[in-house]
Amino acid sequence: MSAYRDEDPRIQGIKTKIRVVPNFPKPGIMFQDITTLLLDPKAFKDTIDLFVERYKGKNISVVAGIEARGFIFGPPIALAIGAKFVPLRKPRKLPGEVISEEYILEYGRDCLEMHVGAVEPGERALVVDDLIATGGTLCAAMNLLERVGAEVIECACLIELPELQGRGRLNGKPLYVLVEYQ
């Protein structure tokens, strides 16, 4: 499901604040830069508000944010819905014992790590990131959470690049996005 299909008037304001940077970080990549959205307090607040409106009252106990831009959107969502925030980080960034999940993304390979014990079996989790492209990062995040017994309720992203077909890799898990780029 996507907010852009629901014609919420805030969506157009959010979409106009996202800058597209060609050939970054590699030739052929059209990078969706959300830093320009963060410079506009109204657009940033509207973004958080749309997510909070969707997840408030859904008994979500964990908001798992994917490094790095999931760290921008995840904490305010978690605070607003009364959930804890769990960072999913790149390798060797978390002290202590971690579990890892390797994945392939649209321009290489990577890995996510999470602290052992950060999420308990039976917890209801929301995965947050800025963008879904091929879906590899979201799949790795869901795998980490499910390996420790959490129930992933949904994935939430600001942006979807549908031509890369990432939604289809989510094994039927719901995906909620605010903005779609063709």
Q: Which of 69, 89, 123, 154 is catalytic?
A: 69
Q: Is 92 considered catalytic here?
A: no
Contacts of 3 (CB under 8 A, 6+ apart): 11, 50, 54, 176, 177, 178
Percentage helix, strand, coil for the chain under 3-state DSSP, each rounded to 5: 35, 35, 30
Q: Is 10 considered catalytic here?
A: no
Q: In one letter, which amino acid is 181?
A: Y
Q: Which of 10, 67, 106, 146 is catalytic?
A: 106
Give me the residue label for tokens 């969506």.
11
Q: In one letter, which amino acid is 5?
A: R
Asked whether the beta carbons of 145 and 127 are under 8 A apart, the reply is yes
Catalytic residue numbers, as ranges: 69, 106
